[in-house]
Amino acid sequence: MELEKFSYDNRIPKLFAIATITWGVVGMLAGVIAAFQLAFPALNLGIEYTTFGRLRPVHTNAVIFAFVGNAIFTAVYYSLPRLLKTPMWNNTLSKIHFWGWQLIIVAAAITLLAGYTTSKEYAELEWPIDIAITVIWVIFGVNMMGTILTRRERHLYVAIWFYLASWVTVAMLHIVNSFELPYSALKSYSWFAGVQDALVQWWYGHNAVAFFLTTPFLGMMYYFLPKAANRPIYSYRLSIIHFWSLIFIYIWAGPHHLLYTALPEWAQALGTTLSLMLLLPSWGGMLNGLFTLRGAWDKVREDPVLKFIVVAVICYGMATFEGPMLSLKNVNAISHYSDWTVAHVHIGALGWNGFLTFGMLYWLLPRLFNTKLYSTKLATTHFLIGTLGIILYAVPMYWAAFRTYFMMSAFTPEGQLQYQFIDVVQSMVPFYALRGIGGTIYLIGVLLMVYNLIKTAKSGKFVAREEASAAPLTKTYTAPKKAHWHSLIERKPVMLLVLSFIAVAIGGLVEMVPTFLVKENVPTIASVKPYTPLELHGRDIYIKEGCNNCHTQMIRPFRYEVARYGDYSKAGEFVYDFPHLWGSKRTGPDLARIGGKYPDSWHFNHMLEPTSMAPGSVMPPYPWLFEKELNIGSTNSKIHAMRKLGVPYEKGYEAQAVADLKKQAQKISDNLAKEKIKIPSDREIVALIAYLQRLGTDIKASKISGK
Amino acid sequence: MKFINYLEKINGISIYPIISLVLFLTIFVVVVIYALRASDKTISEMENLPLDEN
Residues of B whose CB is below 8 A from A645: 2-3
pLDDT at A132 over 90: yes
List, for residues A639-683, the tens digit of each pLDDT value: 999 999 989 999 999 999 999 999 999 999 999 999 999 999 999
Identity of residue A534:
L
- What is the DSSP track for A451-464? HHHHHHHHHS----
Are A531 and A574 a contacting pair, CB within 8 Å?
Answer: no
| Measured distance CA(A292)–CA(A227) in Å, rounded | 11
> Which residues are CB-neighbours of A401 under 8 A, at least 6 positions away?
A334, A335, A338, A339, A340, A343
| Measured distance CA(A455)–CA(A299) in Å, rounded | 24
Nearest 5°: the CA angle A296, A300, A304 is 150
Are A24 and A439 a contacting pair, CB within 8 Å?
Answer: no
How is chain B split among helix, strand and coil, in percent rounded to 5? Answer: 55, 0, 40
List, for residues B1-10, the tens digit of each pLDDT value: 455 555 556 6
Residues of B whose CB is below 8 A from A522: 5
| Measured distance CA(A438)–CA(A421) in Å, rounded | 26
Question: Of the ranges A60-74, A563-577, A585-599, A621-635, which one carries the lowest mean pLDDT score?
Answer: A563-577
How far is residue A108 from each of residues A27, A54, A104, A188, measured CA to CA in Å? Answer: 12, 12, 6, 15
| Measured distance CA(A20)–CA(A22) in Å, rounded | 6
Identity of residue A252:
W
* Nearest C-alpha neighbor of A587 from the set A631, A543, A546: A546
How far out from the chain centre does Cα A369 lie?
34
Residue A193: count of CB within 10 angstroms of its CB: 22
Is A223 part of the contact surface with chain B (CB cutoff 8 Å)? yes
For residue B24, the chain A residue with the least C-alpha distance is: A248
Reported as a pLDDT band with limits 50, 70 and 90, residue A482 is low
| B54/A236 Cβ within 8 A | no
SS3 A417: strand
| B31/A245 Cβ within 8 A | yes
Mean pLDDT across A55-81:
97
- Residues in a beta bridge with A470: A4
Q: What is the pTM of this model?
A: 0.93
Q: What percent of chain A has pLDDT over 70?
A: 94
List, for residues A530-585, the tens digit of each pLDDT value: 999 999 999 999 999 999 999 999 999 999 999 999 999 988 899 899 999 999 99
How far is residue A140 from each of residues A98, A597, B40, measured CA to CA in Å? Answer: 9, 52, 34
Predicted local confidence at residue A57, as pLDDT: 97
Are A239 and A159 a contacting pair, CB within 8 Å?
Answer: no
Predicted local confidence at residue A585, as pLDDT: 95
Number of H helices, E strands in chain A: 28, 4
How far out from the chain centre does Cα A6 lie?
39
How far out from the chain centre does Cα A619 lie?
23
* Nearest C-alpha neighbor of A467 from the set A157, A16, A87, A156: A87
| B46/A490 Cβ within 8 A | yes
- What is the DSSP track for A283-299? HHHHHHHHHTTTT-HHH
Preceding omega of A579 cis (within 30 degrees of 0)? yes
| B20/A240 Cβ within 8 A | no
The shortest CB-CB distance from A232 to any of B10, B34, B47 is to: B47
SS3 A231: coil
| B4/A245 Cβ within 8 A | no
Spell out which chain B residues touch chain A, with contact meaning CB-CB distance below 8 angstroms.
1-10, 13-14, 16-17, 19-21, 23-24, 27-28, 31-32, 34-39, 42-51, 53-54
| Measured distance CA(A411)–CA(A559) in Å, rounded | 10
Residue A598: count of CB within 10 angstroms of its CB: 15
How far is residue A606 from each of residues A590, A642, A672, measured CA to CA in Å? Answer: 16, 30, 13
Identity of residue A235:
S
| A230/B51 Cβ within 8 A | yes
List, for residues A236-279, the tens digit of each pLDDT value: 999 999 998 888 888 777 777 777 766 677 777 877 888 888 89
pLDDT at A519 over 80: no
How far is residue A475 from each of residues A103, A152, A154, measured CA to CA in Å? Answer: 41, 11, 11
Residue length, chain B? 54
Mean pLDDT across A320-344:
93
Kind and range of the H or E element at A298? helix A297-302
Task: Return the half-sphere exposure (C-beta side, CA atoms, 13 A cut-off) of residue A348.
Answer: 26
Query: Best mutation site among B49, B51, B52, B53 for testing chain A: the one with the most A CBs within 10 Å?
Result: B49
| A274/B34 Cβ within 8 A | no
Instruction: Tell me the shortest Cα–Cα distance from B27 to chain A, in angstroms.
Output: 8
Question: What interhelical angle do A654-674 and A600-608 show, nearest 10?
Answer: 90
Are A685 and A626 a contacting pair, CB within 8 Å?
Answer: yes
How far out from the chain centre does Cα A73 lie?
18
* Nearest C-alpha neighbor of A108 from the set A64, A138, A43: A64
ipTM of predicted complex:
0.85
| B17/A266 Cβ within 8 A | yes
